[in-house]
Structure 1
């Protein structure tokens, strides 16, 4: 039975997603780009038979999509297996930021508005760029959470340019999680994190913070937030990915040391502990949303040398003696289990 805190945070997640879905009542955003349409076509080629031709209807639709991508379909490719492999090769080179038009901007603004309501002061929320002492700039970051007491280099409405020392956290917002994009999205988030962590670590030491290992553990939040999932992330039994895929997700996240939090909608929460990256299956409790943003609150409190047992008790809602650890996907002898 869920406690009141769990029900409270689950209701916030539902309300948040309902706001996001309202735009779809007026505009059709079934797919964010031709790449995602291509992914849906790939899912329909179930058998990948080497001796079976692709249906004329599916081939016509596929040709339309590939034309949009300037990737014409070779007429010599006829079998399901040949066409499936061709789609795979196209998807491997998918741009990491597949998020066009008003929907992506709207979903980012929903999160920024939510953060402005819940984050402790002093904090500010915007979108924009990080510029370090060598004038090296990040790519545009969807959401930047920063300390307004440190002057911004540029500030116009929500668009900001800030120095690494001001940054509490950064978040990349993705409309839909697609497994073929995961590694590239981790890589991009990690590059932005690298620009921040080294000067931030020096800054924190100069200001008498105890830094025992990586600054990302307790003082800097670098997260990826996925609004929704495609069906292939859960098995028919309701488990988070097949075991082989789960292992890959753990290993890939561990490789990118500057990424420390991931929310796969409200269903799966991921976070870094030192060198280890762990996932928690919250599909039944729907609390990944809560734990993702609660850790951001915790980091802002750490940066301001503030602690509160009452706050921690409320923002981390699972009352089990082991907390969320009871939901951890555990890796044993090279494979994962729940």
Structure 2
């Protein structure tokens, strides 16, 4: 049976799904842009509740010392008390040194959204490209750089179906380190190889996890949410605390962040593993 920490992880997904569906009662598909913005706000407001007081959450840009500017970032997590180039409400322009994490929020991911597509006869920058290029401008691989999607329209049965997506993930190694495809499927980048493979394989790798209710608890599911949303946020919290207050990361806190017995590695989708050279 789920323990209390696991129930908390599930409640995160249930809360997000309920809030995003609530908007659909009032906004039809013609206003998908506003619906998308609302989904960013859902995540931003949740992060404000769980992040430490010396950390802020906003949206905007990062400008480095070479005057390179990122694309607009959906969610930026940054040190509250460090200098800002500009700040007005939630909108900020920051220097790389104050950044702790960046997140792109998607209503639904497809292979085309992740690895690029054509729209009205022009190429649209892929979400992976955007996250990678923003990471390059910031110039740091120690921060959290993630994609958070509420839903997915892609299958992981029998491996990743899109070779182009695999090629992009291989090419863009180093900056993008977490992807939540929906409440069930989660990906993490391991720069020194997946810890469970360290004896035989230490190449950097991208590991995928099926954290659906059925897989985690070995029970049929009709209403229960998976744990991918919760694990995405737990990895973000771990990254932030490593950068601002590493003493907090004791055994009790890790049990709260990662409540699955024997860790999530038992739910790793080995046929989706991507090893990097």
**Interval of TM-score (by shorter of Structure 1 and Structure 2):** 0.7 to 0.9
5+ unaligned residues in a row in structure 2: which ranges? 116-125, 192-203, 217-225
Q: Deviations over 1:253-288 (max 9, x none)?
A: 232121000001111000100121111011224111
Q: Does 1:109 align with 2:49?
A: no
CA distance in 1, matches of 2:189, 2:166: 10
Which residue in 2 is equivalent to 1:68? none
Give the deviation of 1:134 after TM superposition: 1.5
Instruction: Give the 3-state SS of the residue equivalent to 1:120 in structure 2.
Output: coil
Q: What does residue range 156-175 of structure 1 map to in structure 2 within 5 Å?
A: 156-175=88-107
Cα RMSD (Å) of the superposition? 2.2
Structure with greater Cα Rg = 1
Q: Does 1:324 align with 2:264?
A: yes
Contact 1:250 1:277 survives alignment (8 Å): no
Which residue in 1 is equivalent to 2:8? 8
Give the deviation of 1:119 after TM superposition: 1.0
TM-score, normalising length from structure 2?
0.80
Change (3 A) 1:332 1:312: closer
CA distance in 1, matches of 2:35, 2:59: 16
5+ unaligned residues in a row in structure 1: which ranges? 33-99, 201-215, 235-239
CA distance in 1, matches of 2:97, 2:133: 16
Q: What does residue range 195-206 of structure 1 map to in structure 2 within 5 Å?
A: 195-197=137-139, 200=140
Instruction: Give the 3-state SS of the residue equivalent to 2:236 in structure 1.
Output: helix
Kindly tell me the number of residue pairs found equivalent between the two proteins: 239
Q: What does residue range 237-252 of structure 1 map to in structure 2 within 5 Å?
A: 240-243=156-159, 245=161, 249-252=165-168
Task: Pick the structure with more strand per residue.
Answer: 2
Which residue in 1 is equivalent to 2:151? 228
Q: Deviations over 1:148-193 (max 9, x none)?
A: 1211111111000000111000000011111222112111110001
Q: Which has the higher contact order (CA 8 A, sep 6+)?
A: 2
Contact 1:261 1:271 survives alignment (8 Å): yes
